[in-house]
Structure 1
Amino acid sequence: MTISNNSLTRRRLLQVSAAGVVSVGAMGLPRPARAEGYDGAFTWISPRGTLEVLDDYPFWIGKKMGYFEGLDVDMQPGPSDGTATAKFVDVGQADMGFPSPGVFAFALENGMKLESVYHMGARDTFSLAFRKGEGPTNIKDIEGKTILLGSAAWQPIVDPLLAAQGVDVSTITYVEAGWPTWGTALAAGQGDAALAWEGLRAEWISSGLEFEYWLGVQHSPLPANTFAVRAADLEDEDKKAFLVKFLRGWSMGLEFAEHNPRAAVAAVFEQFPTLGSNLSPELGTTSILQQMNVFRGDFEKREGWGWHDMASWQLFFDLIAQISGDAEPIEASKVCTNALIPGANDFDVEKVKADAAAATLSPEMSAIDIESIRATMFDQAI
């Protein structure tokens, strides 16, 4: 599907996204037990159509270490439609989604009563991949070019990313090249660039896709993916208490990885052996280090894991309004909240450090040189 930038509004994403309008029950989410305050298990839904990635490592290491003990949590991959992570939360088929800022804005503009409660992506994770030797020295040279997407719903990710750099996004043509084949399509000579993100860079290397990248994590002032829930759930004290407990476990998983990233990789590989067989310990560690950089952000300036930088979010919403021609941008302070962040960070950091230090590793994982990977993490950047 080729999409002219001028023809795609946020509302039209409901028509062109892969799954279309949500059909309640389409995902068939199991709800085997009861989570406090919820009708069944608390269901978290991925934006990728799969859980077999390293991106959600805080949950898998937290599950292994017992940081979610007593919480009934159901992790779901969801459809590959990029907007499903918001739409299924809105209609009650899931309780928390992990949308990109663009998909979150799309949801709000389409009347979904959602609120961001935990900002995972403190730095902009998104990037543009180019065939080697074809990346522009100035990102404004992308004007007039074609960008490949895995889903049409990803356009609201790229538009503000480029607009923040002064690019006239009305000149960009987007092509929906399909999930998970849009990177392969770029390598085969289709399009001029492809959307990518931190962590995915390492996974693409493992599948033989060698690109160079303009990295948002180095250049973009915008936020990345966040945890969104129904706004009404924040008015229910039982649900709010459950959310704090869940987010505390997630924060502990993030903290653990800071002190032993290799053990976090190993926990994901134990959960998904096929992923472990496809990614080497070195590439798995490279992927998680890329993502840790995004999730941590400038931690000294944040008020804990999950804290929203409202200025960054407002800049994003202002750009969305500018691109779409809306008179009034979304107010970040009305749709993003830091109310749960103190509780989500109320844990014994020293205990988590001790847990990380005590973790055992395989000889193969122990041999991975963390500092060597960090030193070369941006070698693909243009």
Structure 2
Amino acid sequence: MKDGIARRTLLASLAAAPLAGWSQASPRLDRITVAGWSKPITEVLPLLVEDDKGFYRAHGIELAYVSGAGSADAIRNILGGQADVAFTDPGTFFAALDKGEKLRAIYDIYPQNVFNVVALKGSGITKPADLKGKKIGVYSLASGTRQALQVLLHSAGLAETDVTVVVTGLLNFAPLMQGQVDATAATDTGLLIGRRRGLPEVNVIEVGKYLPVSSDLFVVREETYVQKRAALQRFLRGYRDAAAWMMQRPEEAAQLAVKRAIDGTDPALNLEIIRLRNAASVSDLTRRSGLGTMDVASLQAAAETYRKLGLIGKPLDVAKSVSQDLLPGRRGEPG
């Protein structure tokens, strides 16, 4: 009898041991908050599926997301302490550096330039010079669409004062279709959604043909780069894993967008958006060196263009504000 009791007691203690060991070994999660340029839409799905996939928890990160209305909002949120990492475009990054902010770009989210300016087929607008004197829509005055427009105007020897800029809101082609603007600056996904909503035939001026530079970067304050270095490394591993999953399992991602993205009600449209973002996430450089690798020479050339535009006032040595050492696989870090 005593042997039976002892045996049951031993088995019970062995059964409880894994639970006790797990409790003691459970890692503390470091919180990283990302300031986005948008609300939680399908385009930023790798930041929205943590409750479903746990990409960041797997690397010891508790992820949070703060919405914005343009890239400038994302920078303001990290400067104001509301977030650790800004999801922002290079032009906004350059403008902040120009003002003396101490920032570091740590990951290239979209190495491809996804911006464009769109006009109806019969408008006669087919090249940047045709924009002179026209009303042009942008998502917001703080968005990358406005800067993309300025780049195109500059390529034709024009300035923003040569056109009338109209704020139309995010992914909104209604003003173009209704004749309230002559053309509108957008992204590839914005154009896709517009076409799905009945946008007729259009002429598309691709900004990347005039300025081949990344569309978006992860940017942090210098202080955050120093103080949260290890957590940022693990955050980037989590993001890399989430982006790779979206490339490998686009159909699954499209279904999760129905639940996690505020614009994700149509799985078929989600899948098209996801495929565009997957394509924008890779380049010849990232294929050689891994997702997130930044093309410093391209960023430097873009900074010089922005100075010529008058968007920044002084020369920038971009290499001093770009740090690739936090990327997965760098300096002995796990790939």
Shorter-chain TM range is 0.7 to 0.9
Counterpart of 1:72 in structure 2: which amino acid?
E
Q: 1:42 corresponds to which residue?
A: 32
Deviation of the 1:173 alpha carbon: 1.8
How many angstroms apart in 2 are the aligned matches of 1:291 and 1:47?
A: 15
Moved more, 303-312 or 335-344: 335-344
CA contact (8 A) 2:36 2:71 kept: no
Deviation of the 1:111 alpha carbon: 2.8
Partner deviation per Cα, 1:335-374 (whole Å, 9 max, x = no partner): 22211124489667xxxxxxxxxxxxxxxxxxxxxxxxxx
Correspondence 1:311 to 2:301 = no
Partner deviation per Cα, 1:265-321 (whole Å, 9 max, x = no partner): 22222224x5332x3x32221111111111112356552111110111011100111
Deviation of the 1:255 alpha carbon: 1.2
Q: 1:296 corresponds to which residue?
A: 282
Moved more, 239-248 or 338-347: 338-347
Alignment of 1:87-166 (within 5 A): 87-134=76-123, 136-154=125-143, 155-163=146-154, 165-166=155-156
Q: Secondary structure at the match of 1:152?
A: coil
How many angstroms apart in 2 are the aligned matches of 1:268 and 1:347?
A: 29
Correspondence 1:202 to 2:202 = no
CA contact (8 A) 1:150 1:182 kept: yes
Deviation of the 1:139 alpha carbon: 3.3
Correspondence 1:57 to 2:45 = yes
Q: Secondary structure at the match of 2:112?
A: coil
How many angstroms apart in 2 are the aligned matches of 1:320 and 1:177?
A: 21
* Residue ranges of structure 1 left out of the alignment (5+ in a row): 1-33, 349-382
Alignment of 1:336-351 (within 5 A): 336-343=322-329
Correspondence 1:225 to 2:216 = yes
Q: 2:10 corresponds to which residue?
A: none
Alignment of 1:321-360 (within 5 A): 321-324=307-310, 328-343=314-329
CA contact (8 A) 1:87 1:107 kept: no
How many angstroms apart in 1 are the aligned matches of 2:91 and 2:312?
A: 15
Deviation of the 1:333 alpha carbon: 0.3
Q: 1:282 corresponds to which residue?
A: 268
Q: Secondary structure at the match of 1:199?
A: helix
Q: Secondary structure at the match of 2:233?
A: helix
Deviation of the 1:250 alpha carbon: 0.8
Correspondence 1:253 to 2:242 = yes
Q: Determine which of 224, 234, 237 is the counterpart of 2:225.
A: 234
CA contact (8 A) 2:214 2:299 kept: yes
CA contact (8 A) 2:132 2:163 kept: no
How many angstroms apart in 2 are the aligned matches of 1:295 and 1:135?
A: 33
Q: What is the RMSD computed on CA atoms of the aligned residues?
A: 2.7
How many angstroms apart in 1 are the aligned matches of 2:52 and 2:333?
A: 20
Cα pair distance change 1:284/1:336, threshold 3 Å:
same
Q: Determine which of 64, 67, 73 is the counterpart of 1:74.
A: 64
Counterpart of 1:317 in structure 2: which amino acid?
A
Cα pair distance change 1:180/1:160, threshold 3 Å:
closer
Correspondence 1:268 to 2:257 = yes
Partner deviation per Cα, 1:7-54 (whole Å, 9 max, x = no partner): xxxxxxxxxxxxxxxxxxxxxxxxxxx953xxxx42111112x11x11
Structure with more helix by fraction: 2
Deviation of the 1:169 alpha carbon: 2.9
Deviation of the 1:222 alpha carbon: 2.0
Q: How many residues align?
A: 302
Deviation of the 1:144 alpha carbon: 3.5
How many angstroms apart in 2 are the aligned matches of 1:233 and 1:300?
A: 25
CA contact (8 A) 1:126 1:215 kept: yes
Max Rg structure: 2
Identity of aligned residues (%): 24
Q: Secondary structure at the match of 1:315?
A: helix
Partner deviation per Cα, 1:118-155 (whole Å, 9 max, x = no partner): 11120101111212333634333323433211212233
**TM-score, normalising length from structure 2?**
0.80
Counterpart of 1:224 in structure 2: which amino acid?
S
Cα pair distance change 1:138/1:207, threshold 3 Å:
closer
Cα pair distance change 1:342/1:162, threshold 3 Å:
farther
Q: Secondary structure at the match of 2:216?
A: coil
How many angstroms apart in 1 are the aligned matches of 2:259 and 2:287?
A: 34
Deviation of the 1:161 alpha carbon: 4.5
Counterpart of 1:175 in structure 2: which amino acid?
V
Counterpart of 2:195 in structure 1: which amino acid?
I
Q: 2:180 corresponds to which residue?
A: 190
**TM-score, normalising length from structure 1?**
0.71
